[in-house]
Structure 1
Amino acid sequence: MRRRPFLATRPAPRVATRIATRVVTQLARAGLVAGWLGCLAAPAAAQSAAAEAPGADKVLRVCQDPNNLPLSNRAGEGFENKIAALFAQQLGWKLEHTWYPQRMGFIRNTLRAKEEHSERFKCDLVTGVAKGFELAANTHSYYRSSYAMAYVKDHGLDKVRTLDDLLALDPSQRKKLRFGAFAGSPVTEWLLQNGLMEQVNWYQSQTGDAEQYPGEIVEKDLASGKIDVAFAWGPIAGYFAKRTRSASIVAIPLQSRPGMKFDFEIAMGVRHADKDFRQLIDRLIDANQGKIQAILEQYGVPLSALPPPQSSPP
C-alpha cells in the first residue's frame, strides 16, 4: 500500500487557523451551555440525593438474614431484630427490613442494591459485621464475643473447661470423640495442630439451602449424639445450649492464645459514603450500651469487655 505523505493529511496554515478558531468558539459556547445546564441541574441533584439519604423519610431500613437465630429471623425473634427495633423506637422512625441469607452476595443484594426503578437503596444498615469488615464502613463495636465449645452434660466431659482439658483426656476416650466444626473457623487450626482432623464433621456457614441455619450443629446434631463436641460462634452456641430441651448442654467460651484468635468485636455496617448516618448509629450504640448488653444476655451470648470506642474515620 502506498503511504500518503504526512503533510497531505493536514490543512494549509490559513485554513487550519480558521478551523481552529471555529473549534475554540464552539467549545467555549458548549462549555458555557454545559455550565449553565449544570448550575440548573445541581440543586435538583442535591435535592434528590438528600431525599434518598438514609433516614431522610424517617425509615430505618435494615439488612438482615430471615433464618439465622439468635441473630435475626423474619419473625423478629433475634437479638439483632431487637436492637434494630430499639434504635427505630428511639429515633421515632419506622422500621423496615430487606431479607437475604447471610452468604456470598449478601452485601451486593442488600446494602448495595437499589429498589427497582428507583435510586433508593434497598436497606441502609447491616446489623452485624466483624470489626474490620471491608465491604462496608464499620460503626462502633456493640459487643465482643468468642467462639465456644459445647457438649452434653453427664456424658464424660463435664470436667473439660478448656481446649487443653480436651487434650488431657485419656487418649482412648479422646479418639472416640466426634467433633463438629465450621469449615474455615478459627478452631480449624487447633484441630489440625493436634491431629484431630479425621474426627471432625464439617459444617458450612453458607449453604444454598435457605432453610438451614448454623444452630443446627448444637440443636440437632449435638443434642442427638451425632457429634460429641461442637465448636461454634459463641452467640450461636450459647443460645442453642440454652434453648435446647432434649438435652442439657453447656457452652464454654474459648480463650484466645498466641497465634490463635477466638474472640472478635462485632459492629454494624453502612455504605462508605453515608458518613452522617454512620455517626448517627455510633451515637445510638454508645448511648444504649447497657440496653444492648441486657438484650444479648437474654440470648445467652458470651460477652467480653469492649475496648473504649474509637472515633470513626472521616
Structure 2
Amino acid sequence: MHATVRGCAAALIFLLAGHPGEATAQTADLVSRNEFRVCADPANFPISSEDGSGFENKIAELLARELDLPLEYTWYPDSTGFVRNTLGANRCDVVIGYAQLHELVQNTNHYYTSRFVIVVPEASRYAGISQISDPDLEGARIGLVAGSPAASHMARNGLISQARSYPLFVDRRYSDPSGDMLGDLEAGEIDVAILWGPIGGPLVKTKHPSLVATPLMDEEAPPKMFYRITMGVRRGELDWSRKLNSLIRRNQDEINDILLEAGVPLMNDMGTAPLEPKQ
C-alpha cells in the first residue's frame, strides 16, 4: 500500500504496508522483553503468511535471531482496525512493513524503497514499457488496483476507460485481487497489469513465470510511483524504535538479500534507479 503505503498515496499504503485503523501513544514499557512480537496479516502472500513463506516473515525471523528472542505472531487481516487490534491492544510490538510517514504508527528508518511495476506476458507487444504515459498503451486493456496511484496516471493519460479495476481493501483469507489480476492477464482477459512492486514482482517470480514485471520508472507528474517502507511501532516508543533502527542498519545487506531473493524490485533511496545486489 505490506505497508504499509497504502487520496492516491493514502490508498497505496494498502499494499504493503500501511494498515487502516487507530493508534494511541504508548511507552516503551509495553514492548515484550521475552518475545519478538510481530503483528501481521496471515494471508497476504508474498508479503506475509501464516505458513511463514512471505518475505516479511523471513525478515522477522532474521531480527528475532539477532535479538535472541523467540518469534511470536499476532495474526489479523490487513483491514480496518488492524492497528487498533494489534499494536494498539498491546498484542504485538512491530509491523514489519509500513509506509514511511504514515501517521497511525511511529516509523523506524526505512529499510527498502520500491516502485509500482507493469506486468505483461513475456512475448507481449507491450513488453519493455516503463511508463503509463507510453502511447503504445492506447487501446490496451489494463488491470489495476482501485484507488492506487496508477489510476491517477491513467486518468491523466486518457486510459481510464480501458481499465479493469480490482478491489483495494479485502480480507485476503477469502479474496486475492492481485492473484486474480495476474490470472486474468495469463488468460488474455487483460493485456497488462499494474501492481505495487513488492506484490507484483514476487508473484511473477513464484507463481506466474510466463509473465515479466518491469518497474514504472519514468512517470514525472504526481502522484509518485515509489515508496519507502519502514517498520511500524506504537507512537512514543522511542527506545524500541532506536533498537530496531540499529538492527536494520547492522543487517541491511541480509535484509536486501531476502527482498531480492523474493523478487521485490528494490530502488535507491530516491526511487530513481534499481538497487544492485552486492557482489
Alignment TM class, shorter chain as reference:
0.7 to 0.9
Distance between the aligned counterparts of 1:159 and 1:252, measured in 2?
7
Matched, 1:233 2:210: no
After superposition, the Cα gap between the structure-2 partners of 1:209 and 1:282, relative to the gap in structure 1 and judged at 3 Å, is closer
* Counterpart AA for 1:223: E
* Counterpart AA for 1:152: P
- Show the counterpart of 1:283: 246
Distance between the aligned counterparts of 1:79 and 1:98, measured in 2?
17
Distance between the aligned counterparts of 1:225 and 1:124, measured in 2?
43
After superposition, the Cα gap between the structure-2 partners of 1:70 and 1:230, relative to the gap in structure 1 and judged at 3 Å, is same
Matched, 1:251 2:213: yes
Deviation at 1:202, TM superposition (A): 0.8
Point out the structure with the larger helix share: 1
Q: Is the 8 A contact 2:96 2:232 kept in 1?
A: yes
Segments of 5+ residues of structure 1 without an aligned counterpart are: 1-48, 114-120, 308-314
Larger Rg: 1
Which of 126, 131, 140 matches 1:162? 131
What is the total number of aligned residue pairs between the two structures?
Answer: 243
Which of 102, 107, 123 matches 2:92? 123
- Show the counterpart of 1:84: 60
- Show the counterpart of 1:143: 112
Matched, 1:55 2:16: no
SS of match in other structure, 1:168? helix
Deviation at 1:258, TM superposition (A): 3.2
Q: Is the 8 A contact 2:133 2:157 kept in 1?
A: no
Distance between the aligned counterparts of 1:162 and 1:184, measured in 2?
18
Distance between the aligned counterparts of 2:160 and 2:80, measured in 1?
26
SS of match in other structure, 2:236? coil
Q: Is the 8 A contact 2:98 2:231 kept in 1?
A: yes
Give the TM-score of the pair, scaled to structure 2.
Answer: 0.82
Matched, 1:64 2:32: no
Deviation at 1:214, TM superposition (A): 4.4
Q: Is the 8 A contact 2:106 2:235 kept in 1?
A: yes
* Counterpart AA for 2:32: G
Deviation at 1:136, TM superposition (A): 0.4
Q: CA RMSD in A?
A: 1.9
Distance between the aligned counterparts of 2:207 and 2:171, measured in 1?
25
Q: Is the 8 A contact 1:66 1:74 kept in 2?
A: yes
Matched, 1:197 2:160: yes
**Alignment deviations for residues 203-251 of structure 1 (CA, whole Å, 9 cap, x no partner):** 1121246322343145422222222111110011111111235x61111
Give the TM-score of the pair, scaled to structure 1.
Answer: 0.73
Distance between the aligned counterparts of 1:214 and 1:140, measured in 2?
30
Percent of aligned pairs sharing the same letter: 39
* Counterpart AA for 1:266: I
* Counterpart AA for 1:126: V
Instruction: Tell which has more relative contact order, 1 or 2 (C-alpha 8 A, sep 6+).
Output: 2
**Alignment deviations for residues 33-81 of structure 1 (CA, whole Å, 9 cap, x no partner):** xxxxxxxxxxxxxxxx88x63132x201100011111110000101110
Deviation at 1:159, TM superposition (A): 4.3
* Counterpart AA for 1:149: I
Deviation at 1:122, TM superposition (A): 0.5
Deviation at 1:109, TM superposition (A): 1.4
Deviation above 3 Å: which 4+ runs of structure 1?
Answer: none
Segments of 5+ residues of structure 2 without an aligned counterpart are: 1-26, 271-279
Distance between the aligned counterparts of 2:245 and 2:127, measured in 1?
41
After superposition, the Cα gap between the structure-2 partners of 1:153 and 1:277, relative to the gap in structure 1 and judged at 3 Å, is same
- Show the counterpart of 1:212: 175
Distance between the aligned counterparts of 1:61 and 1:110, measured in 2?
10
Q: Is the 8 A contact 1:218 1:237 kept in 2?
A: no
